[in-house]
Structure formats: C-alpha cells, structure tokens
A and B are shown apart, each in its own frame.
Chain A
Amino acid sequence: MKEFEAFDLPQPSKVNYINAQYGLKSWLLTKDHKRIALLYLGSITFFFFIGGLYAMMIRLELLTPQGDLLQSTTYNKVFTQHGIIMVFFFLIPSIPATLGNFLVPMMIGAKDLAFPRINLLSWYIYMAGGLITIYALLAGGVDTGWTFYTPFSTTFSNSYVVAAGLGIFINGFSSILTGLNFIVTIHTMRAPGMTWFRLPLFIWSHYATSLVMILGTPVIAITVLLLAFERVARVGIFDPALGGDPILFQHLFWFYSHPAVYIMVLPSMGVVSELIANFSRKNIFGYKFVAFSSLAIAVFGFLVWGHHLFVASQSVYAGMIFSFLSFAVAIPSAIKVFNWTATLYKSSISFDTPMLYALGFIGLFTVGGMTGLFLAAVAVDVHLSDTYFIVAHFHYIMVGGALMGYLGGLHYWWPKISGRMYPEGWGRFSALVIFVGFNLTFLPQFVAGYLGMPRRYHAYPPEFQVFNVLSSAGASILGFGMLIPAIYFVWSMRYGKVAESNPWHLPGLEWRTQSPPPTENFEATPIVTWEAYEFAPPEETQVVGKFAGELETA
C-alpha cells in the first residue's frame, strides 16, 4: 500500500451560516457571501421559471404549421422575452452569482469576498433591473428579439423597448460588480500557501469570466443607453435618416453579447473541470493548459463578434478575419475537452449525479462547439444565418453547456450549501431525463434549420412539422426533467439525509470545513501545503488525503 497523509476534518457544529441569525432582515441586509449566493439562487430560479414558461409557449405554438395558438405579434414578444429573461436574468448570473459567490472565497481560503457590501448591492441592482424588465413585460412586452437590432428597435417597434433596455442596463452593473469582486478577491484574498497554480480550476474559470464581465458589460451598458436616447429623443446615432449607422449598433451589441456567451459557459467549464477530476479521483490532465485555456477563451472571445455580421454588410475582408478568429477560439475549447477525456482515462470514475451532468456536458458542448465551426465558415453561415440551425447551435452551448454545468455544480455542492443530501436515485434519473429531453428538443432543429426553416416565425411550411413535433415532445420531457430537481432540492432542505462535512471524500478547501459552513467559512485561516486535486491512492476511496511519498509513475 502506498503511503498517504490523511487530512483532519472539522468537527460538526450546530451553528452555521444558515442558522447563525434569524429573520428576514438578517437575510436582506446580510453581507455574508454564502447568504447572498442563496438570495441569487432563489431569484434566478424565479426568472428561469418565467423564461421556461415563454419557452413552453413557443414550443406549443410551433407544434402545428399554422399560427393558431399565438398571433405573430404575440409570438414576437414571446420569443423576445424568452431570450431576454434567459440570457440576462438567468444564464449570465447563474453560476457566477450563486455557485461562484458561495465558493470563490471558500476555495481560496478567505472569509468573504473582498467587498461584501458591494456583493449585496449587486443583488439589489439585479433585482431592480429584473423588476423593471418584468414591468416592461407586464405593461405590454417587447418584440424586437433579444438582440434589439436598430432601426426596428429605435424607430418602428411599438413596444416597451426603453423599459426593457433600462432593466438590462441596470442589471449590467450587478454583473460588473460581481466580476470586480471576484478579480480583487482572487488577487488579494488567497490563504497562505494558495499559489496561483494551486487554485482549483473553478477559480481560474471564474477569473476569466470576471475579465469578460468587466470588459464587455460596460459596452452593452453604453450601447443600450444610446439606443434608449435614440428612441426617445431621435438623436440620430443609429438612424440612417439622420446620417447614423444602424450597423454600429450590431457591432457594439455583439462586442458584448458574443463574449457574454463565454460568461455563460466558462463558469460551467470550471464546474466540469472540478467534477471530472474529483469524480474520477485523479489529478486533472494538463492543469496549466486547462487554466490558461480559460484565459485564452476570454481573450479570443472579444475578437470574434464579427461572425454575427457575415450577412450584415460587413466587408469581405473583415468577414474573413472574423471567420479565422472564430475558428481559433475553438482551440482552447478543444484543449479543455481533450484534457477532460484524458483525465477520465484509467481513473476510478463514480457515476454520481454531478458526474452524469459533467459527462453530458462534454458530449453536448462538443456538438455545440463543432456546429459553431460550421457557422464560423462564411459561406456556410450565409446559408444557415437566421435558421433553426443557429437556434439549435446556441442552445447546445447555453443549455447543453451552461445549464448542464450549473445543475451538475448545484448537485455537487448541495450538501455544502444546504447541509443535506439530495436523493441520489432521483438525481440520476432526472439527469438522464434532462439529457434525453434536451437532445430530442434540439437535434431535430439542426435538420430543420439546415433544410431552411427560418427562426422567429410563428408559422412555417408543413414539411417542417415532423421536426417541430419531435422538438416540442422533447421540450416537454426536458421541462418534466427540470421539475424533478426543483422539487427534490426543496424537499431535501427539510427531509434530506444530513450531509457530512465531506460527503464525496475530496481534498478541496471547501470540503475541509463543516456543512453548512460557519459564517467565517473556516475556524482558522487555512494554510495550504498541497497541490490542487491531490488524492489518496485510488483504492482508498473513502480517505481524504494526499500522497506522502513520491508519486509512482506509470
């Protein structure tokens, strides 16, 4: 038997961050990053539910070729609002504001984020933006598409563009403040011994995400502000009648909104890196490559926005350069996928629910990423632009990627967050239902799109019906699959098995404190003497520790 050194685990204590204080005020005025994470968790779940209702209406309408359930104007509002809610109020804050908020300080051995008050402020800003957007939806809705393209949004649309834009503008600041807080925390608050290359990969991916947040979000803020002024005061900046250029809006919009896709998927990649290494109990293959590929994605992500403008009067040469750069951004993504699969090789994998989501992520993200390459090729994109192929592609990234990582992470850290175990059998079952439902929803859309079915129409030629029926059937399975975790997570908070401090027997810092953690996270500031992902020998699956001797080379 190989030698290893076991770690001390904390004694369970009755006082933790959840029961340290009681009352509504103790939650609404909290500066504890863990409680703020829970505030975010509740609110983004609420917005996810609204966005999901709109998705349901879309899929019901598209069940038949005629526009029978919704009129075209209503349908325009429904898909717009589905996009706005899901992108700005669910996907962008999803992992960073909940899991990131909870775990970034814990994983680096800090007591809190660097600016706890700003952290709470970011939640209030998020809620203010969300409520204004909900007002826009209730007052009459928005019909511009989530992209707000000019001149339709500035001149012709008769809907609540300014209110929705204001909601997004305000919400942007919550994203900026979260990113700022993470960057400063990761730079200045690491525990003694927690060097940059001992950081869990979750931290690296959140660092990269934060860079995108602080560099991209201000640009969408000023863009939406200019759009609102254009609409209210006709100042001419995007209006061709007054000498303005509507394409400028598209450039500014996608300068943020393409990198925003990486705000959604990078944290998810961080979660998957954690899951793959920890559930195969093996150090991640090529730690530095995985870490730096996150930064490479963040940097390259800012140089590819032009691939959204291949058919929007962009010059041929700009198109060629953007095409090339869009191919290039696939390289760091591919590095991650290959390193994850290489980590799995000859490891001791356990197929718990989080790992099922991680494996699902790898498959779905690969499909989403590869179809992204089709769209990066200018000539192919001209054929596929504004078809259901695009819709299928970005749902594979945003749902198959971002959402799978979010759910996987939520299951993985649920014992830490709530102090209770979720029901494992139901967990695995729902993970499989979601995987099947997701593929049934979006695979047929690739085919329909390739054959020429355009997006954003409430009616379509009858030959596409078979794909849409499959898709709607899949969506109902997907929706059912999502309901199961929603129910058992709530159930488990009261009735779930009480979780140990380290139920998965893992070495990460967040597992070396009690579940749920005390308000100060650790009884004493930890001193880090180990590398990331150091495990006891594979046969000692119940032991949390690291090799004391030399690592045996295969």
Chain B
Amino acid sequence: MSHAASAEPHGHPALQHHFENMEQQREAGTLGMWVFLVTEIMFFGGMFLAYTLYRSAYPSAFASASNHLDITMGAVNTGVLILSSFTMAMSVYFTQIGKSRPQILCLIATIILGLTFLGIKAVEYRQKYEDSLIPGRLIPTRPFNPAVAYEGEVNEHKLHLIGNATVHQVELFYWIYFAMTGMHALHMIIGAGLLTFLLYFSIKGRYGPEYHSPVEVIGLYWHFVDIVWIFLFPLLYLLGRHLEHV
C-alpha cells in the first residue's frame, strides 16, 4: 500500500485504505446515504402515484375506507415517530460532542419508540384482519370480505359506504394502505436492526467526535422513514374525512 501523496496525516483505525482522510470518508458516507434516500423516494413514489390516481378516480370509496381506519392509533403513532426522530437527532449531537452515556440512552429511546410504533401498527393490522379487510387473497384463509353497514347503522366493524363507492374500490384503497404502510413498517424493522448495530458499537466506544459518520448516516435513514410516515398519515387517515356526512 502506498500513501505517499496523502496530504494529511492519518491513522484513525476506522479509516479505510482507499480514502485519503476521515473527512473524505465521512463525505462519501453521507452523500451515499442521501443518494440512497433519493432511490427510496422513487420507490415509494410509484405507490404515491397509484394512491393519487385511484383517489381521484374513486374519491367516495377512498373516504369510506379512510373513515374505517383508527385515527387515534394513527395519531399516537405519528407522535411516537416524531419523538423518535428527536431522540435520534440528540444521539447524533451527543456523539459529535463526545458524550457517550446520553448518546447511548438516546439510541435506546429511539429503538423503544420504533418498536412501540410497530406494536401499535400490529394492533391496527389485527383489527383489519378481524374485519376481513386484508385485500385480495393476501391471507388465503381470510379473503377480503368486509361486512357492509346498511343505511343509518352504527357499527364500527362494518364498512360504511359513502355515495357511489363499491366494495371493490374500497379493496383497492386497502391494498394501497397495506402496500404503503407495510413497506414503511419493513423499513422501520430494518431501521431498528441498524440502530441495534449502532447501539452495540456505541457501547463498545467506537464512535466519538472524530468518527461519528455511521451514527449520522443511520440517523438520516431514520429521519427519512419518519418523514414517509408524516406523508402517509394525512393521506391515508385524514384526507377525505370531511366527506363523512355527505
């Protein structure tokens, strides 16, 4: 190996051989994550397009289906995720100023909040399963077959169709709901795994003011996953609720 032309002295154990210095390595890592997040936006973009298209085609079906979602759980989950973004940002901050103990505590808090989100999401999924709202034959033993409420009936386990909405159109909404929130939950699970990895090496004392790019980069990912939810919550749970009494 030859480092003859390197401008700066180096010797940090985390410096990989093909980088000249820690600054270059940090820049590459951060830019890499930003580029990756761009691909993620495009990935979710396909589903956002499908949402937009079918919502404009079947507004009353989307309102009917959206009304059936549990807005309280959705709202609580939104709060949980925003809080987790805060603890993540604090963890990055404490790494940069070299305070190891609060950094580790913030990481643990982020992981717990992430798991709380997933737990609440699981409860919501279970309710949809019980109401036979899982689209198509995704669960072969329980195909999409919700009970439809008659005019004026009040039953939160039955589907209240508004206007000219049909059950098939509601199914389309639920497929988009499960595709988007499911893909989001998958990203949360991967994120929780990455945070556990960070926690392990933080406890071993690997990160500090000189070397904090893994904490930053995984933090970026975590914020991205949160932001996706910030879009999903209003689109799936809130928009169209005003049509309820039409």
Contacts and interface: CB of A to CB of B under 8 A. Distances in A.
Interface of A: 110-116, 176, 180-181, 183-185, 187-189, 192, 214-219, 221-223, 226, 229, 232-237, 242-245, 248, 252, 520, 522-527
Given A219-B43, A222-B46, A226-B46, A180 B168 contact: no
Given A110-B18, A229-B179, A243-B172, A215 B42 contact: yes
A519 B18 CA distance: 11
B50 A520 contact: no
B35 A183 contact: yes
A301 to B, nearest CB: 14
Interface of B: 1-2, 4-7, 16-20, 24, 27-28, 31-32, 35-36, 38-40, 42-47, 49-50, 53-54, 57-58, 135-138, 166, 168-169, 171-172, 175-176, 179
B2 A189 contact: no
A234 B18 contact: no
Given A215-B42, A242-B171, A243-B169, A237 B176 contact: yes
B32 A237 contact: no
B135 A520 contact: no
26 contacts: A111-B17, A112-B18, A114-B28, A115-B32, A183-B35, A188-B24, A188-B27, A192-B7, A214-B39, A216-B42, A218-B40, A222-B43, A223-B46, A226-B47, A226-B50, A229-B136, A233-B137, A235-B136, A236-B168, A236-B175, A237-B179, A242-B171, A243-B171, A248-B50, A524-B5, A527-B5
A237 B39 contact: no
Given A214-B39, A215-B42, A218-B42, A236 B28 contact: no
Contacts of B166: 243
A33 to B, nearest CB: 9
Given A180-B36, A243-B166, 4 more contacts: A113-B18, A114-B18, A116-B18, A243-B57
A244 B138 CA distance: 17
A523 B168 CA distance: 66
Given A111-B18, A180-B32, A527-B5, A235 B40 contact: no
Contacts of A183: 31, 35
A248 B53 contact: yes
Nearest to B49: A252
A248 B24 CA distance: 43
B212 to A, nearest CB: 17
A251 to B, nearest CB: 8
A187 B35 CA distance: 12
A30 to B, nearest CB: 13
A309 to B, nearest CB: 15
A229 B135 CA distance: 11
A523 B4 contact: yes
Nearest to B137: A233
Contact of A226 (B16, B171, B179): B179
Contacts of A184: 28, 31-32, 35
Nearest to B47: A222
User: Which of B2, B18, B40, B166 has most A Cβ within 10 Å?
Assistant: B18
Nearest to B34: A184
Contacts of B20: 525
Contact of B31 (A188, A219, A522): A188
B50 A237 contact: yes
A98 B168 CA distance: 48
A416 to B, nearest CB: 19
User: Which of A233, A522, A525 has most B Cβ within 10 Å?
Assistant: A233
Nearest to A32: B18
Contacts of B38: 214-215
A221 B4 contact: no
A336 to B, nearest CB: 26
Contacts, number: 130
Contacts of B35: 180, 183-184, 214
A110 B179 CA distance: 42
A115 B54 CA distance: 40
Contact of B136 (A221, A233, A245): A233
A237 B175 contact: yes
A248 B48 CA distance: 12
A176 B39 contact: yes
A84 B17 CA distance: 38
Given A111-B18, A188-B27, A215-B42, A236 B49 contact: no
User: Which of A113, A181, A219 has most B Cβ within 10 Å?
Assistant: A219
A523 B175 contact: no
Q: Which 9 A-B pairs have the closest CB atoms?
A: A218-B43, A222-B46, A235-B136, A525-B5, A112-B18, A218-B42, A111-B18, A233-B136, A524-B4
Given A226-B179, A235-B138, A236-B175, A520 B2 contact: yes
Contacts of B17: 111
Nearest to A230: B136
Contacts of A176: 39
A326 B145 CA distance: 46
A235 B5 contact: no
A236 B171 contact: yes
Contacts of B136: 229, 233-236
Contacts of B47: 222, 226
A520 B1 contact: yes
A184 B168 CA distance: 45
A189 B32 CA distance: 12
A115 B28 contact: yes
Nearest to B135: A235
Nearest to B20: A525
A243 B40 contact: no
A113 B1 CA distance: 16
Contact of A189 (B1, B6, B28, B49): B28
A43 B67 CA distance: 52
Contacts of B6: 525
Contacts of B42: 214-219
A236 B166 CA distance: 13
A278 B211 CA distance: 43
A187 B135 CA distance: 45
A148 to B, nearest CB: 14
A190 to B, nearest CB: 10
Contacts of B16: 116
Contacts of A235: 135-136, 138, 171, 175
A64 B208 CA distance: 73
B46 A243 contact: no
Given A233-B137, A236-B172, A243 B39 contact: no
User: Which of A215, A217, A242 has most B Cβ within 10 Å?
Assistant: A242
Given A218-B39, A236-B136, A114 B32 contact: yes
Contacts of A215: 38-39, 42
A237 to B, nearest CB: 6
A114 B137 CA distance: 44
Contacts of A112: 18
A162 to B, nearest CB: 14
A111 B43 CA distance: 32
